[in-house]
């Protein structure tokens, strides 16, 4: 039962994000996944290469590559060669992309507010403790 509830919650959260970001996808002429990539590059300290996005977002390399190509063609990102490894390309946001990423950050924050609307501060703290334990378990397993 709990697994089903977690899956249902995750799917509904994804639907809510997609629904709320659709206006911006249409405004900028990009797909939702491309908006998510812009937000990742804007907000995440995890890296700025296609490989970093693949590892963080768990999407296929081909999917990310196509999305980055689309973003580049539409003027949202520029690719720069790594100084030490010519095979690596860093993805840099343009001013247009920063605006889109800020809009997506607002969408994410709105969705968080919706999801947490009825959750008390005490429950949020408990959830935080549980998530820390889950992450520790995952990290330990991935280290094997």
The rounded average pLDDT for each run of 10 residues, N- to C-terminus, in the chain (144 residues) is: 76 92 93 91 84 84 91 94 84 93 93 94 95 93 90
Compute the distance between CA of residue 103 and CA of residue 60 in angstroms, rounded to an integer. Answer: 25
Give phi and psi for 65, each to the nearest 5: -60, -45
pLDDT of residue 2: 62
**Domains of the chain as residue ranges with CATH:** 2-117 (1.10.10.10)
pLDDT, residue 21, reads 93
CA-CA distance, 28 to 93, in Å (whole number)? 14
The answer to whether residues 21 and 35 touch, using CB atoms and an 8 Å cutoff, is yes
DSSP state for residue 81 in the 8-state scheme: E
Answer for the pair 128, 119: CB distance below 8 angstroms, yes or no: no
């Amino acid at each position: 039962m709990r697994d089903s509830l977690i899956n249902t919650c995750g799917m509904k959260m994804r639907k809510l994000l997609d629904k709320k970001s659709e206006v911006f996808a249409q405004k900028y002429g990009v797909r939702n996944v491309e908006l998510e990539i812009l937000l990742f590059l804007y907000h995440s300290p995890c890296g700025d290469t296609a490989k970093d996005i693949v590892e963080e977002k768990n999407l296929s390399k081909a999917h990310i590559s196509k999305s980055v190509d689309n973003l580049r063609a539409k003027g949202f990102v520029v690719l720069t060669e790594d100084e030490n490894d010519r095979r690596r390309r860093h993805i840099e946001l343009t001013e247009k992309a920063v605006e889109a990423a800020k809009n997506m950050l607002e969408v994410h924050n709105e969705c968080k507010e919706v999801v947490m609307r009825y959750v008390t501060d005490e429950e949020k703290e408990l959830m935080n403790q549980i998530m820390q334990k889950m992450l520790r378990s995952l990290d330990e397993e991935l280290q094997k």
